[in-house]
A and B are shown apart, each in its own frame.
Chain A
Amino acid sequence: MSNIDIIKVSALTKQFKNLTAVNKLSFSVRQGDVYGFLGQNGAGKSTTIRMLLTLIAPTSGDIEMFGMKLKTNRNDILRQTGAVIEKPDVYKYLSAFDNLKLFAKLSGIKLTENQLLQQLETVGLVNRAHDEVKTFSQGMKQRLGIAIALVHNPELIVLDEPTNGLDPQGIADIRNLILHLSKEQKKTIVVSSHLLSEIEQVATKVLIIDKGKKIKEGLATELFDPSQTVIEITTLQNETCWNVLQQSVWKDRLVFQNKESVLLKLNKNDVPKLNQYLVQQNIEVLSIQLRNSLEDYFLQVTTGNQHVEAFSN
């Protein structure tokens, strides 16, 4: 990670009539970051990303990218930026190859047939290069979208909800691609998602927004307290397990118990000790899983908590 700011956003605001979609949002993305942009639906993630790509004009605030004002250097900035906004819709009546060629031309570069096929190979579409896009699955379209975003070899890649509508394999493919672009090609990546577990696995830095406002920004590893990891234990005797733990040193760590499991909040390094204790108490443990993640943190700091409480009741 370098100290150069690729994106610097100051007091960014977008007002749609009576709705303030983004409210005085400030953040910066450094070169080499995989910057996770988290928020619930309607939190203002997509509006912010669209403002970064000049699709939406800010009501107020400043955006600087690559050290230049976005307002006055739009084309210079976009030449160094590749983006996929939600689902990457391309021309369905064209082949993957023709779509890539068309967008390469729009990006101001001319690639040879071999170079275009090579681009398609990086996203695993070379075998379908000349098939019309209307025959593609959502995952293939997403990969083609990423190939289009990368066609001009941009330094910054912006991915808005890139895993939307994908199956688990598709999600894993996108995740691996992000990691590859970050680690192997040293790209700076901004990725938004409501699949928090996905962000957690790829982001080096995270921004959480809610109702258009910044809630928290920081390194992913710092955003949640490891001593507050939620552990889910499944045993053959959950009620007994609960009672046993209530009379032990773990009693303050207990959170919740139902027919399926017992939940505790503790440091994940203490899990082996807990397991040992349960075995000593003749509790037949089926599984112990770490349930806490950025998601819990996210729910704590955003209005998501209200949703969880509403469902719990």
Chain B
Amino acid sequence: MWKLFQIELYKIFLRPRTYISFIAVAALVIVVQLGLKVDGKEYAAFVLADLSNTLQIDGKIINGYFVCYVILQLLLVHVPLLISLIAADMISGEANMGTLRFLLTKPISRTQFILAKFFAATVYTILLLIFMAILALFLSILIFGTDDMFILKNNYAVQIESADMLWRYAGAFVFAALAMTTVAALGFFLSQFADNSIGPIVATMSVIIVFTILSTMTIPIFSLIKPYLFTTHMVGWKEFFDVRLNEANETVRGTVQRPDKILKSAMILLTHIVVLVGASVYLFKRKDILS
């Protein structure tokens, strides 16, 4: 299993396609950072326009933590496409190249083979998020410095102390890794139904788009299925930036308002991963290799 996993990682990181995602993430992060560096004050004034008459904010609003939050909001919508480029290609790509039949004539168990592939796709997903975290958080801190983070929620504003930020980002990135691994599991599951990569990549993105629309629409009939859609829970990372308030209406350091919500979303995402990977193993073990 370990040997197979190493081989899968070796194959992933030898393919030029793998680095497209890293280049895309770097380009997007740098563009946002550049934009905020040049026009950050105007952006902050625009975002806080409604509050400007009632609230006076001192310090650096456009700081490294804030920039990272903006980047995460923008990027985590698009990262699933980059994840599916690799995950949805894991089996269909081998079928397309004709290597799948060659591999499966070797004395390796199909279960181990498919699990090794999934774990390799997960490592790719996590590395992409670590790369994103380094650029979006640490590079932003380097460029913009640090200060308390001020973000707007639907009907209120939250100020989080600078010293209370790093663990929240660690939690947010771990949660985002779980969400993106769910996308990887979906792409991986769909990957075994086709002999070319395009179909599963498009299918993965289509599922995400349809589910996201269903998750965000406020039509009562969809409310019944919303709690079960993984897309509803993919934005759970934002909960790490919702701080609990004390009786004096002050934020309490080291707390989040709804830890139960984070846990529930994480469990639902984890269930999706287990079900999708379990189904992949079940189906792949019985699959006739005709490619």
Q: List 5 A-B contacts (CB under 8 A).
A: A50-B288, A50-B289, A53-B104, A54-B104, A85-B102
Instruction: Tell whether A87 is near chain B: CB-to-CB under 8 Å.
Output: yes
Whether a CB of chain A sits under 8 angstroms from the CB of B14 is: yes
* Binary flags per residue of B12-44, CB closer than 8 Å to A gives 1, else 0: 001110000000000000000000000000000
Q: A56-B288, A56-B289 are in contact. Are A89 and B99 (CB under 8 A)?
A: yes
**How far does the alpha carbon of A93 sit from the alpha carbon of B93 in the complex, in Å?**
13
In whole angstroms, what is the CA distance A201 to B14 when docked?
A: 42
Q: Which stretch, A104-112, A170-178, A254-262, A263-271, touches the partner chain B?
A: A104-112
What are the residues of chain A within 8 A of B78 when measuring CB–CB? Answer: none
Chain B residues within 8 Å of A79, by CB:
107
A310 to B7, CA, bound (A): 52
Residue from A53, A85, A106 whose CB has the most chain B CB atoms within 10 Å:
A106
Output the residue of A53, A78, A89 with the most chain B CB within 10 A. A89
Interface contact B106-A78, CB-CB below 8 Å: yes
| Contact in complex: B7, A57 (CB < 8 Å) | no
A48 within 8 A of B: no
Please determine whether B105 and A85 come into contact, CB atoms closer than 8 angstroms: yes
Give the total of A residues in contact with B, Cβ under 8 Å: 32
Q: Which of B3, B7, B97, B106 has the most CB of A within 10 A?
A: B106
Check if A107 sits within 8 Å of B97, measured CB to CB. no
Select which of B4, B14, B102 is within 8 A of A148 by beta carbon.
B102
The answer to whether A105 and B7 touch across the interface, beta carbons within 8 angstroms, is yes
From B3, B10, B97, B105, name the one whose CB has the most chain A CB atoms within 10 angstroms. B105
User: How many residues of B sit at the interface, in one of the four size bands?
Assistant: 20 to 34
CB distance from A48 to the nearest CB of B (A): 13
Cβ of B98 < 8 Å from any Cβ of A?
A: yes
Bound complex: CA of A43 vs CA of B87, how far in Å? Answer: 36
Choose one: B14, B286, B288; the contact of A55 (CB below 8 Å).
B288
The answer to the question of A162 belonging to the interface, with a C-beta cut-off of 8 Å to chain B, is: no
Asked if A81 lies at the interface with its beta carbon under 8 angstroms from chain B, I say yes
User: How near does chain B come to A22, taking the closest CB pair, in angstroms?
Assistant: 12
A106 to B4, CA, bound (A): 7
Scan residues 145-171 of chain A and give those whose CB is less than 8 A from a CB of chain B: 145, 148
Which residue of chain B has the shortest Cβ distance to A54 in the bound complex?
B104
Query: Would you call B11 and A81 a contact (CB within 8 A)?
Result: no
Residues of B near A55 (CB, < 8 A) are 101, 104-105, 288-289
Cα distance A144–B40 in the bound complex, in angstroms: 58
Q: How far is the CA of A74 from the CA of B111 in the complex (A)?
A: 13
Whether a CB of chain A sits under 8 angstroms from the CB of B108 is yes
A88 vs B97: C-alpha distance when bound (angstroms) = 10
- On whether the beta carbons of A92 and B97 are closer than 8 Å, the reply is yes
Would you give the 0/1 interface string for A116-133, flagging 1 where the beta carbon is closer than 8 Å to chain B? 000000000000000000
Pick the residue among B97, B98, B105, B109 that contacts A83 (CB under 8 A).
B105
- Nearest A-chain residue to B97, judged by Cβ: A89
Find the B residue at minimum CB distance from A88: B102
Does B263 belong to the interface (CB within 8 Å)?
no
